[in-house]
Amino acid sequence: MLKVDSINVYYGGIHALKGVSLEVREGEIVTLIGANGAGKSTTLRTISGLIKPKNGQIEFEGKNITGVPAHHIVSLGISQVPEGRRVFANMSVLENLELGAYLRQDAKGVEADMAQVFERFPRLAERKSQLAGTLSGGEQQMLAMGRALMSRPRLLLLDEPSMGLAPLLVKEIFAIIKDINAGGTTILLVEQNANMALSIADTAYVLETGRITLSGTAKELSQSEAIRKAYLGG
């Protein structure tokens, strides 16, 4: 479904991604794990068009999408939940979700999807008219995910959904991710919390200072000695 082929990304003189390649197959949860500053978010932002790679190619459903601007990527069926949630703080929960469906013309479908989001996140339904900035961290994460789902993506990019959340909430969020995937949405998940990420993913990639150093099924990686030492705490 998504094929990233040896992309190189620079921030000014800093070589952030050094020939990163990865593949996401339809229906999978793929996770990209790694330490701070390894380039995980950069990879996601390059896929979603917020950053342009210097060279290399990104292919989505057989189409070359390298360098396509971000607002156009959404219409192709890729939706991103940005790092740190980034909800529209001064807008209500409802308005946030409506913006998620910004590119859609089918009012009926949007309404149905809205109902589905509220079913999946009952907490958001309770807080429909509350300003998004006044929600708790976990609720904001749910809103950011719900908002991304409103564009009815085929591929959902999640950037550190566990960031800054209590362990219990992290569990809840990951259960929801699994559930979204079961509903037919392919997921590319970027995480620092390798343990949680590997527990729900099918395939995993390990990113270290801009390079993919390991890849395999999530099961293989979670049993690998090197991974356990570096990311899973022994």
Partner 1 sequence: MRDLTKRDLLSLAACLVIYAAVQGLITLDVIGPFWQLNIVLICINIILAVSLNLINGFTGQFSIGHAGFMAVGAYLSAVMTVKLQLPFPVAIAAGAVAAGVLGFIIGLPTLRLKGDYLAIATLGLGEIIRITILNIPYVGGASGFMGIPRYTNFTWVFLLMVFTVFVIKNFINSSHGRACISVRENEIAAEAMGVDTTKYKVLAFTLGAAFAGVAGALFSHYFYIAHPASFTFMRSFDILTMVVLGGLGSISGSITGAILLTFISAALASYPEWRMVIYSIALIVLMLYRPQGLFGNKELSLKMFSRVTGGGQRGAA
Is there a contact between 114 and 96 (Cβ–Cβ < 8 Å)? no
User: What 8-state DSSP symbol labels residue 139?
Assistant: H
- What is the chain's percent helix, strand, coil content, to nearest 5? 40, 25, 35
| Residue whose CB is less far from partner 1, 48 or 66 | 48
| Residue whose CB is less far from partner 1, 80 or 162 | 80
Distance of closest approach, residue 12 Cβ to partner 1, in angstroms: 16
Residue ranges in contact with partner 1 by CB under 8 A: 48, 50, 69-75, 79-80, 82, 86-92, 94-95, 98-100, 102-103, 128-129, 147-148, 151
Spatial separation of the C-alpha atoms in residues 171 and 160, rounded to whole Å: 13
Spatial separation of the C-alpha atoms in residues 145 and 143, rounded to whole Å: 5
Distance of closest approach, residue 106 Cβ to partner 1, in angstroms: 14
| Residue whose CB is less far from partner 1, 36 or 129 | 129
Distance of closest approach, residue 176 Cβ to partner 1, in angstroms: 19
Distance of closest approach, residue 155 Cβ to partner 1, in angstroms: 13
Q: Which of 173, 8, 11, 12 is nearest to 81 (CA)?
A: 173
Spatial separation of the C-alpha atoms in residues 192 and 158, rounded to whole Å: 12
| Residue whose CB is less far from partner 1, 50 or 163 | 50
What's the CA dihedral at 90, 96, 100, 103 to 10 degrees? -70
Spatial separation of the C-alpha atoms in residues 150 and 170, rounded to whole Å: 22
| Residue whose CB is less far from partner 1, 22 or 78 | 78
Distance of closest approach, residue 86 Cβ to partner 1, in angstroms: 4
| Residue whose CB is less far from partner 1, 103 or 112 | 103
Distance of closest approach, residue 95 Cβ to partner 1, in angstroms: 8
Spatial separation of the C-alpha atoms in residues 1 and 164, rounded to whole Å: 31
**Left (φ > 0), alpha (ψ -120 to 50) or beta: where does 158 sit?**
beta
| Residue whose CB is less far from partner 1, 104 or 219 | 104
Q: How far is CA 25 from the centre of its chain?
A: 15
Distance of closest approach, residue 80 Cβ to partner 1, in angstroms: 5
